[in-house]
Structure 1
Amino acid sequence: MGSILEEISAATTFTSKEEEKDIEVLPGMVIKVDGTVVRNSDHALPTTDINVSSSPIFVNNVASKDIVIDSEAGVWGRLFLPESVTGDHTNKLPLVVYYHGGGFCMGNAGGESPTYQSIRLCRTSNVVVISASYRLAPEDRLPVAFKDACTTMSWLQKQCKYQAGEAEAGDPWLMNHADFSRVFVMGQSAGGNIAHHVAVFKPIDELKPLIVQGIVPIVPFFSAEAISESEKNVSEDEILPLGKHHTFWRLALPLNATRDHPYCNPLSADAPKLAEVKFPRLLVIVGGKDPLYTRQIEYYDALKQAGKEVELVEVPEGTHIFRKIPALEAENVRVDKAISDFIHKSE
């Protein structure tokens, strides 16, 4: 029996007979008998007509290409450029580092959802975007994802030094078009949790001359051992029912950890005090019908009480994946504007 499968037995419920066959621990995620994890990262999510292949030429006003960040760890990213950069190397654009969702167990930097979000962000905010990968649980449990995110930030710090002429030439797209004094860390769901932990694990002062001006957690994936009011109200949510939510955490957290672990609950007694974390400005975006809504609002309130500069955007009818729901397009346009205003506020 593979070691991964042995760990899964502690995180899920199946009998000894079931140990001899493939196990679907989550919809779209199967652990095979040999311990191999097989994923369909966009399982059961609304789809768009987005082409997930990178395109170094401009298609629908955005170009993209894949880059290697850390070959040993397997960390990579997909760079997105808006067509507004064409022929202009002097007017550099803000750089957004985007981390995808998937409960720390699913998804990838070039998947349909992060590609859709990155292209949309390029178009609506006129920014350079890097959709950054991170290793997934249960093969690599937390804090590996946080460390990979910090690896990406350190790589960008080197790119910033290249641009300043302190070392050999860096990536030409970043050299020509990214403003490293206007960097924003953004993520959706698990990626929103990662965006928070980038500030916890990698103090922004240590990233200079790279300057992180803001963090944007979108429907951040936070929880706690106690069941919240929003979790009770939508326990059978179509996308994130309570059982699925808890399974993600059992697979992602260190073995034997509870949902009050600081990686899951940033307000737990053992978590770093928010007042002591050097956050830049924050924009927290939530959906009123998200099962995680209560925890997200508690997080926002705690940031305010800690004296942080934080804004809140709430979509009353928003579910956990409202950013992909066509019926909520008018609300998503409002969110687009809030993000753009937040990014360009300092200009």
Structure 2
Amino acid sequence: MSDELAHDFSPIAKVYKDGRIERLLGTSTVPASIDPQTGVQSKDLVISNEPLISARLYIPKSTTAESTQKLPLLVYFHGGGFCIESAFSPTYHYYLNGLVSEANVVAVSVDYRLAPEHPLPAAYEDSWAALKWVGSHYGGTGPEEWLNRYADLDRVFFSGDSCGANIAHNMGLRIGSEKLEDPKLGELGCGKVLVCVAEKDTLKDRGWYYSESLKKSGWNGVVEVLEAKDEQHVFHLFNPNSENAVAMRSKISSFMN
């Protein structure tokens, strides 16, 4: 085993000349569970074996075996520069427990393959495959009973942070151009967009530029921008109970409802 570096992407990862990859962040995981604070239940499943694509599903406390009301469905794409983190990390598990509880939605958190072992467009292709799997539940006949029973596939939302937001955008574009086999999900198109930025994030201007570009593109939807004052990149994940993070979660919840 060689310690000679081929690429040093610190503080995210290091790639050694023998092909070994050392991730410096975002490697910890937590099991699916019933969250004691929110009552949100989660479980893990495999969407595809070749390539391996997994997901973590969440349902709020309001769902019961006798429930007849269908809830909005959130498809979430985690961040991490396409290189680190997962749908099973404590950061995203904690965040989605809180969001699913407050918004009263069902969520699918997609675990796509990571670079550099799986360079782009692997993350996009895995996410698209996950969306087709979600679409297979329209009409209540898909392979996952939680989605059949509780999810309203006429009200589907995409969300993500950092590179996950990039994935969400690209999935929205792809649905608009290619559709899914399920026509209803494709017909949702994208009628509204919420862009969340942080004042001290170096990527803030790109978020504002994105919103302005949407308005000028001929797209007929409505876009809103929420800017959190005095905050940095993905602050809502690192400090989820801060005033700005709570306000952002409340805004996203109302957006989906």
Question: Shared fold (TM-score greater than 0.5)?
Answer: yes
The residue that corresponds to 2:133 in the other structure is 155
TM-superposed deviation, 1:336:
1.5
TM-superposed deviation, 1:300:
0.9
Secondary structure of 1:174's aligned partner: helix
* Letter of the structure 2 residue corresponding to residue 312 of structure 1: V
- Determine which structure has the larger strand proportion and give its number: 2
Question: Is 1:337 aligned to residue 212 of structure 2?
Answer: no
Give the distance between the partners of 1:37 and 1:179, measured in 2 at CA. 40
In the TM superposition, 1:103-118 aligns within 5 A as 103-118=81-96
Residue among 22, 40, 43 paired with 1:38 = 22
Contact 1:29 1:37 in 2 (8 A): yes
1:245-281 per-position Cα deviation (integer Å, ceiling 9, x unaligned): xxxxxxxxxxxxxxxxxxxxxxxxxxxxxxxxx5331
Change in CA separation of 1:330 and 1:209 when aligned onto 2, cut-off 3 Å: same
Residue among 190, 193, 205 paired with 1:279 = 190
Greater Rg by CA: 1
Moved more, 95-104 or 324-333: 324-333
Give the distance between the partners of 2:178 and 2:4, measured in 1 at CA. 51
Give the distance between the partners of 2:145 and 2:173, measured in 1 at CA. 30
Contact 1:94 1:180 in 2 (8 A): yes
Give the distance between the partners of 1:314 and 1:80, measured in 2 at CA. 27
1:120-149 per-position Cα deviation (integer Å, ceiling 9, x unaligned): 111110111111011111122222211111
Contact 2:54 2:111 in 1 (8 A): yes
Give the distance between the partners of 1:285 and 1:155, measured in 2 at CA. 27
Contact 1:199 1:279 in 2 (8 A): yes
The residue that corresponds to 2:226 in the other structure is 313
Unaligned runs of 5+ in 1: 2-17, 215-277
Question: Is 1:75 aligned to residue 59 of structure 2?
Answer: no
Contact 1:283 1:311 in 2 (8 A): yes
In the TM superposition, 1:36-185 aligns within 5 A as 36-42=20-26, 52-55=30-33, 57=34, 59-60=36-37, 61-161=39-139, 163=140, 165=141, 170-185=143-158
Number of matched residues? 253
TM-superposed deviation, 1:192:
0.2
Secondary structure of 2:62's aligned partner: helix
TM-superposed deviation, 1:290:
0.4
Contact 1:96 1:183 in 2 (8 A): yes
Secondary structure of 1:137's aligned partner: coil
Question: Is 1:211 aligned to residue 185 of structure 2?
Answer: yes
Change in CA separation of 1:189 and 1:212 when aligned onto 2, cut-off 3 Å: farther
Give the distance between the partners of 2:41 and 2:66, measured in 1 at CA. 15
The residue that corresponds to 2:210 in the other structure is 299
User: RMSD of aligned C-alpha atoms?
Assistant: 2.6
